[in-house]
Structure 1
């Protein structure tokens, strides 16, 4: 009995990913080139899980190059995964710190008793710190 296969349209419907994205991922080496039957792409059933993994990696913030490296690494070889995951974790920690500093500054502005936030000594201090080259996160700590 022949292995069941999915057309690109079926794979797109099952994964919620546009066929054009699937073709792009194939061209980038994220998805292996599928077999062709009468010129039509035919993906194996396991392509659904692979697309799910690509979506998960994308949602976690991994670049296409990182995704390709992770998908190309040998099964069970966790060293590359850990290296990329630690790097991504550090990037996310930095993004979270920046977002938290921005949230704190906005929250202060909303609570500030000054009628105009530009008159607030705290806001002026942040502005001065930014003008000296400090990031919002660094300025907020001062």
Structure 2
């Protein structure tokens, strides 16, 4: 941690990487794509304001949800009237609902397998049905 001339606390790239779990190369990539911006340098190391951690949390969340870097960049600049982006977000929410339902079915099949006494397990009719349902539409 360092301070700027105005005594603002700054984080260097290593500290940001450690706090977020992101590699410094990912931070440099996000910077190159305009998703984050350093405040300057402390020697050879980039420095960032602490609020970059929140922004990186949002970026990580959006990446986990399946948004592309271009979509995230657009999202970070979005205004309430951006109907195309809102539609994409609604589509992504539906995709996540489907994935959550699929993961729930997968969990249920594993819960059954954990207590099933059928020999062999893979021939258990309940287990077979559960596995078949994992990728079935909800």
TM over 0.5: yes
Residue 136 of structure 1, aligned match among 125, 134, 137: 134
| Distance in 2 separating the partners of 1:126 and 1:47 | 44
Counterpart residue number, 1:119? 123
Q: Please, which runs of 5 or more residues in structure 2 have no aligned partner?
A: none
TM-score by length of structure 1 reads: 0.59
Match of 1:30 among 29, 35, 44: 35
**What does residue 19 of structure 1 align with?**
24
1:109 aligns with 113
Say whether the 8 Å CA contact 1:97–1:137 is kept in structure 2: no
The aligned residue for residue 62 of structure 1 is 67
Structure 2 residue 103 is matched with structure 1 residue 99: yes
Residue equivalent to 2:91: 87
Shift of 1:98: 1.4
Q: CA deviation at 1:122?
A: 3.7
Deviations 1:11-65 (A, max 9, x none): 4456554432211111222124655688764545653443343234345553333
Residue in 2 that maps onto 1:73: 78
So what's the TM-score if we normalise by structure 2?
0.61
| Cα contact 1:70–1:80 (8 A) shared by 2 | no
Residues 12 and 120 of structure 1, relative CA distance in 2, 3 Å threshold: closer
The structure number with the bigger radius of gyration is: 1
Please give the alpha-carbon distance, in whole angstroms, between the structure 1 residues aligned to 2:122 and 2:54: 53
The alignment of Structure 1 onto Structure 2 pairs a total of residues equal to 133
Structure holding more helix per residue: 1
Q: Which ranges of structure 1 fall in alignment gaps of 5 or more residues?
A: none
2:56 paired residue among 51, 54, 70:
51
Q: Distance in 1 between matches of 2:114 and 2:14?
A: 50
